[in-house]
Structure 1
């Protein structure tokens, strides 16, 4: 879809099942007797006698507390309703069952765990006096006011409360029956406090209440300052700190290359041998592979002595401070998109959804709307009872979802199987594309509708369901889907193990609305640990280190990254860069394993900006990290493979397509800044530098061992490079990170330094031991060798020493073979042992400068799967 075209969504007044119509009571065709409802007195619960007994006791207890607090006048529309299972509710008093369109029926349609009415003189007096369509709540939130009970089933569920004007009471609901009493008490106490402190609230006219402005910023900025909430609406500037630092990097690179060629010039002048000028062919690879080294050096010095105030301010690509919150009559709709696979429902997915529901509740009470859209790639792979459990969970919590068939390129036709291919080596992109295609097809059908003036929310819901059913029928059972799967104005993309801040949506959309050129805001993330293993803690430290480095670079004016989750995306921007493949419109690249990097490149090449935000802090967004060395290693392999895919064609296509990809050519000739291109190329170059480490070190071992003293002076041996890496990455990096956290975060300088030293051995072994694996991933792409990765484990699995040993031998057998060959070769060539005595003296290698670098590479590769494996190191049996 080109910019300027209408998106495939209805008008904002009719968008996404969330229309703000004038109140009109919905029509309910079924009577209570036709519904599968049961009262506490005559129920036969499907969840077993113990479950039924537990629910019966709880509903009686809540009714008793309700009566003790004088929250009920024994009216037929007052009481408590508790959910025991799907379409299975109990109530107290039992008379609630027989009221048509009453509390019992409405709560069943609302589909909440527990609901209770609260009727007091204070609530009745307020509803009789005030004509506001909402009740102001704490921190600028508000609770909806409904005309009568018939609107309850279509209200904003995540308010978790609603005032009913007729007959004049409050209904509170909750996911936890043990919390509903305190929730009701909080609302009642706030209402009394509100009336006492601001008696003018009840004097507002009905005319004002019909079209209220959503003034979220009820507090003055000074008050917000007291809560640590600052806003910055100044024009955003393009900072030049990072371009200046990149200039220094370029100077150091040119200086270093120049010093090498100075030696070449002296040699040519001396012996008139011009053959060494062939060394010019390695200049560009040297610059590419070495750029990140000098960038780290310059950034480390800058972190210690350069300016840091920019890390707490706003710029074109960085947000250290929130934008001013929107004060409009309607807030943009947000879709939370969450791709999942076969993660545990209760151990992984549910905690994430609990976190999301809290944030949705806040945004809805601020006047916005959110729908959750799960792209479930594991639904059709699970056992029937597990799949049913997921479906019931999604239905209960108003979660829309789409699932596709399992990967089955060679079906057994005699068994009735149908062929289906899940494209891509890493299936996340094709999973999201498939689900978004279902959403797009619904929008295409809805866009042809003619909506009359009296169109209601119920009309929209009914037509939407008809269109969804029609698409499922067209797919002949291939697609499973249910709930609201339409896309909003913005998409918050998360992983299945994410935690989000309770009050984040309004800040997100406020910044996006204020910056229409921004396509993605990537939020910094803290780490959510699920185990106590030393490896997960070490990767937690490394992840925090990476985010600190990103924050510093982007705050200086560097381009913002996009890591594929914990980011808000502009839906219209994704439509703008969509492309058609096999007759289907796609948004995420399925031909690369780095779909997030590809997305960032395409958006920036199209002229959009990316932004990095840190104002939620490390306690805001949280993500899981790799729990095992296997997963972390696979992550590095996937990134390396993806970077190779972005730049180079496989070797077999070079004669016909050339060496570089069309995307890379588009990127290089786009209007992106030179600094942005250098930064991206530097990042990609790190993987090639890591991949080449073991190859160059092995070559250096033989070159220095056999030809030391006969080499061209342009050659720098691996020991000097190793020493430089230790000085820059380990020494300078450790000190500069501690100083930066001391200057910016107020950390103890000594404490931060000790923390850095604590994890230095783990990172040294890990980064030193992945060269062989990263080179394997790059070589697999270049040689068109199939390589695939599964989803990262989100749950810890119990393992033992004897279970890990065969796993390690199976996964790292070639690594161990390499290590054994290298160690044996070094021992023999050192003249040690019977075989060593057979090696002529001139062919022996005993130089420390030749042996040490290779020894470190071999040791790191050998130790990686052993000492970084908690299952092995705990020696559990």
Structure 2
């Protein structure tokens, strides 16, 4: 490889034969290959500089034009098109201390361009792109102009510190769209009209037979309103998506950004520092973490060339659990890519070897993992704040002080905490998952919006999906995820409060510190709630209670990408976790009801918060969907016996399951599919025919999935209500090779209770239809069909939605 790259270097006339020119490739830690080999003979030359820089591959570019160009440069940078700047270093000895993420630097005294890359195969491409950009700059004459506004002509519009943010569309003076309040008003009208129709029947029958016992139905009024909200919300949204306005999805409003903000100008001051917080567990380093880091480095490179700075901070919860070899490979990887990291000890509730007790708290460990990393960073900052910095304090002295502070923190933890690299936080935090891709030019837009809108605490970005397999199940979940984001964008553009989904979001670090709480269990400040599964909802609610807002950014399109569940097991676990989280946000466990009452403090805080009333309705409707799904199997079983034995004698207030089923089919299948296709057509996302065909093609998969999750959701809801311990691990990020015979016992183990319910229900329906006395026989279609649909969904889900089983691989 090194010889081939050198040959390409010669063919492109990028080599003039000096002792500091050539190719350097890293073979292993501290071992490098060079071409020409004479590079190894220079103890302080290019090879040594690249070794200290600690990159995988590097090459030089030397031409007469480049030397002439650099001879006329007296600035520490070279301006490039689109507002970018590439660093200029005085000599090769300055290379180890450069801005590494720019992946290139001009060497002034040698008249060289040095380019480095993680992938040697991309070296030539990067060098070529820089050469072309340099030629364009020379033709434009931008390098010799004192004012660089000329570079920023069509791609970006910028604002400085003196501009009035209140008067630009990305600032604070944004309109509040009222379509969501209008929609919520219609939802409430339909809900109360439907309930009013039922109570009309109650009043009429009571007037006829004077039986006031049916007034007991009033006990079901609040649950009925709650469970009906989402149904009518979907119906009204379907209508508005077809005939209502959609231009708001391309504009900016209080909670929604459909177009990018005006960019900050670097000349107005230093651009904000961004920290990328990346919690990881046992994911594979090469297939999962490394591609994510490469995506981040591309974005950091762009931001550094725009004048900003950024660092990656990994909260590694798996480093002290995986094998020593894998752990060392991770450490070497973090060091090579300038990644700061913190790792906490494994969960050790009852130590047997004399080690210290350590508890990884929380049912979902992500929150406590991030809290631990934040705690380590804050402790280092506290030590640094005590250091006196005299005039003339240098960057090298700051780096030495930081290293000493970090070493002191690690010493205080007696070896239980492990950490290295830069773990300090900047002004803003971009939170991502381990399987994420980010746009190569996203940081400047994000910090510009946050700087111009100080009331925004969270800027949540709409995301696309990154597929890692070609399985039909992953593609189906991809469609569903895109559907969810489409509906979120539409709702927030209409004026709803933006959600915070826990990743692909920029947080204001000062705001997060403002709502920190004292944890009595650990006697220290924490930021993310470890008591709830839905730590993201808790964070958003506390920030909004403090006067901040959450905003949704949609101007990157599908530039942010996230992974989805690869198996039906992971997707079910995700729905169970969400259901459990909704339950614990709303209700206390039953054992606390006599002492604390039924509702949690967080729910009471939510009701009394300054969040708009229509947004509260939306949140309650969303939470109600899990209870509706979780209770559907139970109500269907009850309906089977009630309708089967008492059909014709039931009170008119009672709505049987078959009528509910028909209503659901009409609203969610027919109206929902048509309106989604129309919305995507009207927003130029897709053609109408293509959008409609796509929606219809995935309907069978989600008919089975949504029809088969009721038992699993009810299990999660009941686990919380009865204080049954439940934990969830991280979603699998890598595809696993499996076979038919490996999946069968796995299904029997994981779905044992579901299969018992299915076979028991089938046996009950057969016996009640054929083998019981005539008066006890249940053979009516409207009684059998709803239960049969529920049973079919639960039975087919683990088999039909399991590609590892359906491929019949051996």
- TM-score tier by shorter-chain length is over 0.9
Aligned mates of 1:71, 1:535 — CA distance in 2 = 49
Write the distance in 2 (CA, Å) between the matches of 1:711 and 1:855: 22
Partner in structure 2 of residue 742 of structure 1: 681
Tell whether 2:577 aligns with 1:635: no
Matching residue within 190, 194, 208 for 1:270:
208
Q: Does 1:513 align with 2:448?
A: no
Q: Which of 751, 775, 792 matches 1:859?
A: 792
Aligned to 1:445: 383
* TM-score relative to the length of structure 2: 0.95
Q: Conserved in 2, the CA contact under 8 Å of 1:323 and 1:510?
A: yes
Match of 1:621 in 2: 560
Partner of residue 154, structure 2: 219
Query: Deviation at 1:363?
Result: 0.8
Deviations 1:417-444 (A, max 9, x none): 4321110111111111111111111011
Deviation at 1:75, TM superposition (A): 3.6
The corresponding residue for 2:692 is 753
Shift, 1:625, TM fit = 0.7
Structure-2 separation of matches of 1:410 and 1:506: 48
Does 1:794 find its partner at 2:733? yes
> Structure 1 residue 652 and structure 2 residue 567: aligned?
no
Question: 2:139 matched to 1:201?
Answer: no
Distance 1:68 1:876 in 2: 50
Distance change (3 Å), C-alpha of 1:764 and 1:63: closer
1:8-23 matches, within 5 Å, as none
Task: State the match for 1:559 in structure 2.
Answer: 497
Number of the residue aligned with 2:402: 464
Q: What is the CA distance between 1:744 and its match in structure 2?
A: 0.8
Q: Determine whether 1:155 maps to 2:125.
A: no
Sort the Cα spacing of 1:669 and 1:216 in 2 relative to 1 into closer, same or farther, 3 A: farther
SS of the counterpart of 2:278? strand
Q: 1:256 aligns with which of 169, 194, 198?
A: 194
After superposition, residues 75-224 of structure 1 pair within 5 angstroms as 75-97=18-40, 99=42, 101-198=44-141, 201-202=143-144, 204=146, 217-219=152-154
1:706 and 2:645 correspond: yes
Deviations 1:228-263 (A, max 9, x none): xxx954741110001101000000011011111111
- Tell me the secondary structure at the aligned position of residue 713 of structure 1: coil
Contact 1:332 1:489 (C-alpha < 8 Å) held by counterparts = yes
Shift of 1:214: 8.5
Aligned to 1:846: 779
Matches within 5 A, 1:444-593: 444-581=382-519, 582-593=522-533
Q: Which residue, out of 550, 553, 558, partners 1:610?
A: 550
- Which whole-Å CA distance do the structure 2 matches of 1:411 and 1:332 have between them? 44
Aligned to 1:780: 719
SS at match of 1:379: coil
Please report how far the alpha carbon of residue 63 of structure 1 lies from its aligned counterpart in structure 2 after TM superposition: 4.2
Contact 2:80 2:151 in 1 (8 A): no
Secondary structure (helix, strand or coil) at the match of 2:441 reads coil
Secondary structure at the aligned position of 2:108 is classed as: strand
* Partner in structure 2 of residue 762 of structure 1: 701
Q: How far apart are 1:469 and its partner, in Å?
A: 1.1
Give the 3-state SS of the residue equivalent to 1:610 in structure 2: strand
Q: Deviations over 1:137-196 (max 9, x none)?
A: 232211011222332111111111111222332222222333323433332343233223
Corresponding residue number in structure 1 for 2:275: 335
Q: Post-superposition shift, 1:131?
A: 1.9
CA distance in 2, matches of 1:217, 1:574: 34
Q: 1:692 aligns with which of 622, 631, 638?
A: 631
Distance 1:853 1:404 in 2: 50
Change (3 A) 1:66 1:845: closer
Query: Are residues 1:239 and 2:177 paired?
Result: yes
Match of 1:42 in 2: none
Structure-2 separation of matches of 1:220 and 1:187: 18
- From the superposition, tell whether residues 853 and 64 of structure 1 become closer, same or farther in structure 2 (CA, over 3 Å): closer
* Partners of 1:216 and 1:325 within 8 A in 2: no
> Could you tell me how far 1:88 is from its partner in structure 2?
1.9
Flag the 1:203–1:691 CA change in 2: closer, same or farther, 3 A: closer
Instruction: Judge conservation of contact 2:170–2:453 (CA < 8 Å) in 1.
Output: no
Q: Measure, in 2, the Cα distance between the counterparts of 1:546 and 1:201.
A: 47
Displacement of 1:482 in angstroms is 1.0
Segments of 5+ residues of structure 2 without an aligned counterpart are: 159-167
Q: CA deviation at 1:827?
A: 1.0
Contact 1:372–1:400, Cα closer than 8 Å, also in 2? yes
2:164 paired residue number: none
Instruction: Report the counterpart of residue 221 of structure 2 in structure 1.
Output: 283
Residue of structure 2 aligned with 1:828, choices 760, 767, 783: 767
Q: 1:814 to 1:69 in 2, by over 3 A?
A: closer
C-alpha distance in 1, partners of 2:702/2:10? 61
* CA–CA separation in structure 2 for the residues paired with 1:661 and 1:641: 14
Residues 661-720 of structure 1, C-alpha deviations (whole Å, 9 max, x = no match):
111111111122111211111111110111110111111111111122222211111111
Distance in 1 (alpha carbons) for counterparts of 2:94 and 2:271: 22
Deviations 1:258-289 (A, max 9, x none): 11111111122222222222211111110001
Output the CA distance in 1 between the equivalents of 2:219 and 2:626. Answer: 21
Counterparts of 2:247 and 2:503, CA distance in 1: 27
Distance of 2:155 and 2:531 partners within structure 1: 50
> Shift of the alpha carbon at 1:753?
1.2
**TM-score using structure 1 length:** 0.88
- Displacement of 1:387 in angstroms is 0.7
CA distance in 2, matches of 1:215, 1:536: 46
Task: Name 2:293's counterpart in structure 1.
Answer: 353
Is residue 805 from structure 1 mapped to residue 744 from structure 2 by the alignment? Answer: yes
CA deviations 1:285-308 (Å, max 9, x no partner) are 100011000000000011011111
Distance 1:189 1:812 in 2: 59
Q: 1:801 Cα shift?
A: 1.1
Cα pair 2:377 2:425 within 8 Å, conserved: yes
* 2:341 aligned residue (381, 390, 401): 401
Q: In 2 relative to 1, CA 562–145 (structure 1 residues): closer, same or farther, beyond 3 Å?
A: same
State whether residues 101 and 297 of structure 2, in contact with CA within 8 Å, keep that contact through their aligned partners in structure 1: yes
- After superposition, the Cα gap between the structure-2 partners of 1:117 and 1:857, relative to the gap in structure 1 and judged at 3 Å, is same
